[in-house]
Amino acid sequence: MEIIKELTGEELQSKECYGVDKNSYKRGTYLLTYTGREFYPLHPDPNNVDIKDIAHSLSNSCRFTGHISKFYSVAQHSVIVSHLCQPENALAGLLHDASEAYLSDIARPVKYTEKMEGYREIEALLEKTINEKFGIPYPMSADVKYADDMALLAEGYQLFKPIPNWVIARLKAANLEKPLVTLDGAWLPSVAEGKFMKRFLELQGVSFVVPTETELENEY
């Protein structure tokens, strides 16, 4: 995507995690990323983490294992969480699900069972590696977790038909009629990718002219 390339800049995108011995990482089977990198999810190297790969993958990944009324990406969820966090935690909020770009998420009824302990260990290693790359504290802060839960409640309320029992129960427990957060529709993948990158660059102090949604859609 030419527009995304123009927005990011080579220096930022080729950022190296200095002090890391690349040769110390074991090799195994790799996955090929959007930018053409060979990424080893079982032995991740922070130098091989690329924000363009994360933005692109998450924009094409649907929340709730796709069981919702319309396509709604993990990238859009991540942007919303970032804005709900305190400013000092905004980047952590944006990247709180970034490991899903290299290790697709598993539905909660399966993910948190005893049999999936190994998966959760792999996920934790990926999260630590990504956080190391971008200088984010690990594990997730209470502020990011709260923002994630706020977004989750809004998504459950607006994206399922009818409204799920777990959403109704959470609203009742909080003495609310509806979530405090309202979603801004559901973005197309190209739009979600552009807005994810825009948010990332804003948090890096990079200023630029934002392309319109039509321009982003026309990139595909």
Q: Cα(91)–Cα(89) distance, rounded to whole angstroms? A: 6
pLDDT digits (tens, 9 = 90+) for 176-195: 999 999 999 999 999 999 99
Q: In Å, what is the CA distance from 5 to each residue of 52, 193, 197? A: 9, 12, 10
Domain residues for the domain of 91 are 2-15+24-217
Rounded to the nearest 5 degrees, what angle is found at the Cα of 155, between the Cα atoms of 197 and 117? 80
pLDDT digits (tens, 9 = 90+) for 82-131: 999 999 999 999 999 999 999 999 999 999 999 999 999 999 999 999 99
Q: Do residues 181 and 151 touch, judged by C-beta distance below 8 A?
A: yes
Rounded mean pLDDT, 166-170: 98
Total domains in the chain come to 1
Q: Do residues 40 and 27 touch, judged by C-beta distance below 8 A?
A: yes
Q: What is the CATH number of the domain that holds 68?
A: 1.10.3210.10
Whether pLDDT at 1 is above 60: no
Rounded mean pLDDT, 17-30: 56
**DSSP E strands: which ranges in the chain?**
31-32, 38-39
